[in-house]
Amino acid sequence: MLSGPITGAHLNPALSISLMTVGKLKLLQCIFYVIGQILGGFLGAALVYLVYLKQFDEFDGGIRQVIGPNGTADIFFTMPGKGTPQWNALVDQIVTTAILMIFGMSVGHMISEAAKPFAYALIVTGIICAFSLNAGAAINPARDLGPRLFGAFVYGWNEVFGVHNYFFWVPIVGPIIGAIVDLRESCALNQIQIIVKLFPQLEYLKTRMNRKEIGQITKYLLLKTNNTI
């Protein structure tokens, strides 16, 4: 609601990077977006730590641990579920981020601007509730990497990035793959739908237009379709 009119409220590097791959965002813009998103996650984690510092001390006696009976690092960043291999967690992140993109883009075309923030919040909440078991439902590289970077200052770099056999890359790579695949599939489906709808009209116009003119019209309409995604 606050950042939507300014930047589109991506808040997620997976979304920004996927839009860049289809030409909706310039490389430099994408870099600044991603830096801002990760920085936001970092500062959010720092605020949580500051507010609950005394509770952390009460729980672990001032000795910070990533995992174990007194481990608290999973407050800040995701970890795999018990017995979940990395390939399974990666697939989980790809699928859940694709689901996020599907619902997010659908809602974007169906409801008013004022209702969008609440709809997106419900979508994210639903995905987290349904898909947290395998990999913590990051569905957003900044939501994991930003707090993880902050956690590195609290728990130690090796401990944070080496935990669970260097699991940290899964909630970064998985969501990006899921978002790119979903967005490209959506673009392709929209193009197919446009062509199917246009084909009868183009056949009718063949008697009055040459092949080059028909091709130019089709290319223009496909370009306009991409610009609405």
Tell me the pTM.
0.76
User: How high is the pLDDT of residue 113?
Assistant: 73
The domains located in the chain, with CATH, are 4-227 (1.20.1080.10)
Stronger pLDDT, 40 or 222, i.e. the higher one: 40
Alpha helices (runs of H) in 52-169, residue ranges in sequence order = 53-60, 86-108, 116-135, 141-155, 157-166
**Mean pLDDT of all residues in the chain?**
81
> DSSP readout, 21-57?
HTTSS-HHHHHHHHHHHHHHHHHHHHHHHHHTHHHHH
DSSP bridge pairs for 65: 71
pLDDT tens-place string over residues 121-147: 888 899 899 889 999 989 999 999 999
pLDDT tens-place string over residues 96-123: 988 888 887 777 666 777 777 788 888 8
φ, ψ of residue 207 in degrees (nearest 5): -70, -20
Q: Tally Cβ neighbours within 10 Å of residue 172.
A: 18
